[in-house]
Amino acid sequence: MTSKVIQVEALRRFCEDTFVRLGFKKEDSTIISDVLLISDLFGIDSHGINRLQMYVQQLRVGYIDNQSQPEIVFQTPVSAVIDGMRGMGQLVSNYAMKVAINKAKTSGIGLVTVRNSNHYGIAGYYSLMASNEGMIGLSMTNSLAAVVPTYGKEPMLGTNPIAFSFPTIPSPFLFDSATSVVSVGKIEVYDRLSKPIPLGWGLNMDGNDEQNPAEVLKSVFSSKSGLHPLGGGSELFGGHKGYGFSMVVEILSSIISLGTTSNHVEKIDGNAGVCHFFAAIDPKIFGDPIAIQKHFETYLDEIRNSEKAEGQNRIYIHGEKEAESFLRRQADGIVLSEKTLDQLVSIANELNPTIIEYLE
C-alpha cells in the first residue's frame, strides 16, 4: 500500500472501533479518537493516528489499564491531585482538565496535577478545552526521558511539552511546544523519510552530536543519550533556558503530584508513570473578559502587520497554522504514510478486519 488520503470521519470510525475492540467503553473510545484526530487535523502528524500502534503495544505490556478510573486523591477549592490509576492518558487528562475547569468556574482558577497516567497525545488538546469555555488553558506533561540537561549526556527529562491557550477570534491563541529543540516525533518523521536531521538536535549513543535520525532514536530508546533542550547543547544560545522550562514542567507534573520523574518513566515494572499538569483560569478574575480579548486582538493585529524579515510575507500567530490545517484537512482528508497505513491494516486484521474498509 502506498500513502493515501483518508477522510476524517472514516478515520474516526476506524479509530473508535479499534478502541472499542481493545476493551474501552464507547464513550471513552470517542474521546481517545478525538484527541488523536485533532492532532492529525492540526497537521501535527507525529502525535495523531500514527501513534495507534504505540498505544496498542502499551495496552499489551500493561502500562495502560483500559478499565481503570482516575481518582482525586487530594483537593482544595482551587486544586486537585489526581491518580491516573494507569488509565489511558487521553481519558485521565480529559477528566483532569474538566476538574480544573469546574474549579475555575467556582473559584476562578483550578490547578490539577496528575500522576500515574500514560502518554496523553498533543498537549494543546487539553488547554483548548479551557479556552473553548472562555478560559486561559494550560497543559503540560512529562514523558519518557529523552532530553539531556545542559552539560549532561544521560537523558533526565522528557520532551516535556507546554501548551497555553487563550480565547481569541477567529481561532484561539494556541502555543503548544516541546521544551526540547524538537520532539521525538519530529525525529521519527525524518527517520521515516530517511532524511538527515540538522546538527544540534540530538546526540548519538556516545553522546556526540549526530545527523542520522536513526542513531538519535537509538540513543533515546536505549536511554543512553538523547535530544538537546530548546536553545541547544550549551549556554551560548540558551540551552540552559530550555532545560529550565523543562524543569518547570517536571515540577508541576511529577514533583507536586509525588509522581514518577521522567528519568523513571517506563522504567518501573508494568507502569509507565507519566505525569501531567493542567490549569484553567477564568479571565473574569482580572476584570472584563471582553475588553481583555479585544486588547489582545489589537496586539495580534499589530504583530501580523509589523514589518517582515527579508523574503518572508507572513508572521504567524501561534495556533493559526493549526486552525488553517484543521479546515483544510477536514475538507480534503488526511494523508497517511505507507508505514502508518500498513500498521493500521495490521491492527485491523488482528482486531476486526471489517474496519479495513474505512481505509479504502
Among 248, 335, 345, 351, indicate the residue that binds its own copies (CB under 8 A). Answer: 248
Is the Cβ of residue 215 or residue 250 nearer to its own copies in the bound state?
Answer: 250
Element (H, E) at 243: helix 239-250
204 makes contact with its own copies (CB under 8 A):
no
Is the Cβ of residue 258 or residue 345 nearer to its own copies in the bound state?
Answer: 258
Contact criterion met (CB below 8 Å) for 81 and 115: yes
Positions in 107-136 near its own copies (CB under 8 A): 107-109, 111, 113, 136
Is the Cβ of residue 37 or residue 144 nearer to its own copies in the bound state?
Answer: 144
Smallest separation (angstroms) from its own copies to the CB of 117: 16
Smallest separation (angstroms) from its own copies to the CB of 207: 6
216 makes contact with its own copies (CB under 8 A):
no
Nearest to 345 by CA among 336, 353, 337: 353
- Measure Cα distances from 352 to 114, 291, 344, 348, 355 in Å: 33, 52, 11, 5, 6
Q: Which stretch binds its own copies (CB under 8 A): 21-29, 62-70, 83-91, 289-297?
A: 289-297
Instruction: Compute the distance between CA of residue 155 and CA of residue 313 in angstroms, rounded to an integer.
Output: 39
175 makes contact with its own copies (CB under 8 A):
yes
Nearest to 262 by CA among 252, 270, 273, 271: 273
Among 9, 54, 71, 286, indicate the residue that binds its own copies (CB under 8 A). Answer: 286
Among 8, 85, 256, 335, indicate the residue that binds its own copies (CB under 8 A). Answer: 256
Q: Burial of 190 by CB count in 10 Å (0-12 exposed, 13-18 middle, 19+ buried)?
A: buried
Among 318, 340, 343, 344, indicate the residue that binds its own copies (CB under 8 A). Answer: 318
4 makes contact with its own copies (CB under 8 A):
no
Q: Which stretch binds its own copies (CB under 8 A): 54-62, 179-187, 322-330, 339-347?
A: 179-187
242 makes contact with its own copies (CB under 8 A):
yes
Nearest to 88 by CA among 156, 22, 43: 22
333 makes contact with its own copies (CB under 8 A):
no
Smallest separation (angstroms) from its own copies to the CB of 209: 10
Among 3, 60, 151, 169, indicate the residue that binds its own copies (CB under 8 A). Answer: 151
Is the Cβ of residue 121 or residue 233 nearer to its own copies in the bound state?
Answer: 233
Instruction: Compute the distance between CA of residue 90 and CA of residue 79 in angstroms, rounded to an integer.
Output: 20
Tell me how crowded residue 308 is: count the other CB atoms within 10 A of its CB. 10
Contact criterion met (CB below 8 Å) for 261 and 279: no
Q: Burial of 105 by CB count in 10 Å (0-12 exposed, 13-18 middle, 19+ buried)?
A: middle
